[in-house]
Amino acid sequence: MSQPQVLVPGSVLGMLGGGQLGRMFALAARRSGYHVAQFGDPANSPCGQVSDVSYPHHFLDFDQLARFVLFRSVVTWEQENIPTATVEFLRERVPVYPSLELLRASQHRLLEKTALRTLGIPTADFLKITSAAELQAGIKDFDGAGILKTVTLGYDGKGQAKVTTTDDTAAIWQRFAVQEAILERIVEFDFELSIVCARFADGSCHFFEPSLNDHVNHILDVSTAPSDRISSQQAHEARQIARTILEHFDVYGVLCVELFMDRKGNLLVNEIAPRPHNSGHLTIEACGSSQFEQQFRAVAGLPSGSVSMRAPAAMINLLGDHLAAATPERWATVFAMPDVHVHLYGKADIRTGRKMGHLTVLAETSAEAARRGLAARDLLWH
């Protein structure tokens, strides 16, 4: 893939997808004088609200895609569920980043895990499953328990189930209703972490501080950086893993590597997100250049900004659960809190478990930032 060329302010950057990641990309790009055209969602979508123009059409509507790219200088995406046929069509007409090959791998868990193992990157043990009998045999191979996952789609805990030898594997396989799946050995881990990084036209790779991540009901709840639970050696190993992925897939743009730290102190890659990541939202206030600024800089052929942290930080997710009872008085109290930054995504439909926004808090330590952020969120819904 050819490297990005420098695009001057005033150029139009195309965004596939209209969610909150596209929204924050558009805000960063437009602040620096670029225009953003969004494809896939209506003008009232999170990204559409802050884009110059929206194309609310299906990703496989090639006539509309041809119109979309007429005046675009480059195209990128904000989610990994973009059909590869869409990217193949577009890149015959305009540069598309970060990497089609990475997109293919990240859309299929077996392809992703196999690619990582080929690169010598550690992951949980896994097996391809195509029948209830294979599932039953795999559970035995994995000492009586494993995590069965669909190979495509699935996020925030969807499309997966823990399976043990006492479960009815035939019924579970029938419920999954797929031709193939992946069974992963259960990892006994101390904590989860992620590293957001970017690769630029000159081939240089730049890494944000790894984030310590806590989940509730399979949804990211709190991210903190820097974390004293992540040693300098472990952070170095995470950067080396991320660099290997960036260079192997010839990435120009941003990606995130999600990892487990097992109880022996070993890093295992859980999955790759070929885009900015929820855990990286704290970079907006905490770093000189946010993950979204890095994204538009990379695809526009610009050099990296500063990824150094200005202060320790925490990101606290706001779900529909947290906002349903938020009164004007509660909002006013949160907005009055120093170093608490409120981000809402413009979603009108408040639903349980739906990501509606986040808080970023800066403090003397990331643990203190998390404590204050959780206290602020509690004020909204308790």
* Domain range list for the chain: 12-96, 125-185, 189-381
Cis geometry, peptide bond prior to residue 98 (ω within 30 degrees of 0): yes
Does the domain formed by 189-381 have CATH 3.30.470.20?
yes
Alpha carbons 333 and 325: distance in angstroms, whole number: 14
For domain 12-96, give the CATH number: 3.40.50.20
The first and second tokens of residue 161, run together, are 């189930």
Q: What local confidence, expressed as pLDDT, does residue 169 receive? A: 84
pLDDT digits (tens, 9 = 90+) for 170-198: 888 888 888 899 999 999 999 999 999 99
Q: What local confidence, expressed as pLDDT, does residue 213 receive? A: 99
C-alpha distance from residue 375 to each of 94, 340, 357 (Å): 47, 11, 16
Alpha carbons 138 and 206: distance in angstroms, whole number: 39
Give every residue of the chain whose pLDDT is below 70, as ranges. Answer: 1, 154-158
What's the fold here for domain 125-185?
Dna Ligase; domain 1 (3.30.1490)
pLDDT digits (tens, 9 = 90+) for 28-82: 999 999 999 999 999 999 999 999 999 999 999 999 999 999 988 999 999 999 9
- In DSSP terms, 198 is beta-bridged to 206, 254
pTM of the model: 0.95
Q: What local confidence, expressed as pLDDT, does residue 381 receive? A: 87
Cis geometry, peptide bond prior to residue 226 (ω within 30 degrees of 0): yes
